[in-house]
Chains A and B, each alone.
Chain A
């Protein structure tokens, strides 16, 4: 829908500016007149919510950096200083730490929305891949940020994750350890590690912002997908982005922010491991190391594999596989509304990810409470299903499944005339 610009400068100044830097034209075409399918539902409001959360994280992060000290002997105390002495420091830090959780909550809904409505399919493959890159950058940023308070969980998360690279020793002896020493700036996680992690934690959000610009650009070339997954056929299928979707996005953003505020003000530590309020101690590993909730499914996959290198390959493979989804799904029907079988496998994937998240919070030798049933087989089954969904089910279903008939146009489906009028202009 990257059609002709409809922007008409009306004043002398805007005409002058438009001939030199058409920035108002760009803003007009992307957030005012941008033709958007008229049937976008609630699940399409998370793109706007994610932009908002990125802004919150950058703003709170910049001010926290004015008080934080990235040195091993001062980092923990400087965070406590922020919490106790800095004016509104408690609020800024709780907004930032819980902001990460809500950022991930929104991104998971956004990703599953894309999987359900087939938003990764042609012509939106690049859009999807840019989204996966943003997600991976978010994980890296969140991990780096988690190490900064230099509590026990911070320190041991840094140790465990950087040690993932030592698995390379099993194919190239010495190389993995050399990479780990390079990452640490020493022979173990320590002062140099914390300092560089802070530097990179400050950098990556701006890299994310840059990729977000590309993501939105790649969205505006083909235009939005929609819950029906059929192409826009003409102006009768669309409405201008403003005011229709600016207002709709803002409404759902308000609901989302209410939820966020409840956690920030009333449950600020609900999502935090208490061990991270113990200063980092390189001599004592906490009884159990778990990542933040949003990485638990991947942790469950890592822990379910008894072999180090394969475990690490599975961990990174679970992310890398997302890049290939546009080509693994062979169905020509985008939306799962019209794919009765795919829909069931999709919801099974959602349950699978929640189950893996639950299992990832428990030790590999744990049993389900009150039953004596070990968790490990379920973690392995869950890992297997995750990969099977992308590598077997999506490719095969496209060939085996008979999709339900698609509506002719968005307009007829939305207005519910019951008669599928073929009044759309020929393409």
Chain B
């Protein structure tokens, strides 16, 4: 091949490169279904939202609701817990974002931005470190203590101490009536 000049591309070079490129694209097209099949399926994505009646939950109590395979904490906070959480300046928090799906991403982690009504903390009960379920009414801040690696959260579910990088997440939810919420 190319006996006359060394650097002049020939028709054979072109065919060689074009075949190789078509093969690479074909491999990529074949690989994607093999990779994407592992992503959440249509059935999983179609999981409906959950409704929950708040009225039986007493002040100082917490119940857990399942939503999309995840536990959602519904915590009826006492006036003391509300006051403690509101007294914390945002600048002293390790994660200063509200992590609230109902607000813009840049919302600050004030207690007000973590919930719609001060008595009701509705939060995905998964530690942002490695996904364990924290224990409620535990730890130095009276909020949550993760048993796995010792992360501590306050009564608004904001990370205060330990390896977790972020506040626990607030799921999208809305009030259907003063005592009923819909998560998702």
Contacts and interface: CB of A to CB of B under 8 A. Distances in A.
A306 B150 CA distance: 10
Contacts of B126: 188
Interface residues of A, number: 39
B172 interface: no
A159 interface: yes
A303 B128 CA distance: 15
B95 to A, nearest CB: 11
B149 interface: yes
A287 B147 contact: yes
A286 B147 contact: yes
Contacts of B150: 363-365
A364 to B, nearest CB: 5
A181 interface: yes
Contact of B165 (A156, A190, A302, A308): A308
B92 to A, nearest CB: 17
Contacts of B10: none
B142 interface: no
B133 A283 contact: yes
B38 interface: yes
Given A307-B163, A364-B149, A190 B38 contact: no
Label chain B's interface by main secondary structure: loop
B91 interface: no
B64 interface: yes
A182 B35 CA distance: 9
Interface in A281-320: 282-289, 302-303, 305-309, 311
Contact of B68 (A188, A306, A307, A311): A188
B44 A182 contact: no
Task: Classify chain B's interface size.
Answer: 20 to 34
B167 to A, nearest CB: 13
B44 A187 contact: yes
B130 A160 contact: yes
A272 interface: no
Nearest to A312: B130
Contact of B69 (A167, A187, A307): A187
A170 B148 contact: no
B17 to A, nearest CB: 32
B104 to A, nearest CB: 15
Contacts of B164: 308
Contacts of A363: 147, 150
Contacts of A159: 130-132
Interface in B40-89: 40-41, 44, 64, 66, 68-71
B160 to A, nearest CB: 13
Nearest to A363: B150
Contacts of B133: 283-285
Contacts of B130: 159-160, 163-164, 166, 308
B163 A186 contact: no
A308 B41 contact: no
A279 interface: no
B23 interface: no
A160 B40 contact: no
Contacts of A185: 38-41, 44
Contacts of B131: 159-160, 162-163, 166
A302 B150 CA distance: 12
Nearest to A288: B147
A306 to B, nearest CB: 5
Interface string B133-148: 1100000000000111
Contact of A285 (B39, B148, B162): B148
Given A160-B131, A186-B44, A289 B148 contact: yes
Max count, chain B CB within 10 A of own CB: residue among A167, A170, A181, A283: A283
Contact of B132 (A156, A167, A190, A365): A156
Contact of B40 (A156, A163, A167, A186): A186
Max count, chain B CB within 10 A of own CB: residue among A183, A186, A282, A307: A186
Please provide the 6 A-B residue pairs with the shortest distance between their CB atoms, ordered closest to farther: A163-B131, A188-B69, A163-B130, A285-B133, A285-B132, A160-B130
Interface of B: 35, 38-41, 44, 64, 66, 68-71, 126, 128-134, 146-150, 162-165
Given A159-B131, A160-B131, A287-B147, 11 more contacts: A162-B131, A167-B165, A182-B39, A185-B40, A185-B41, A186-B40, A188-B126, A282-B69, A283-B66, A309-B165, A363-B147
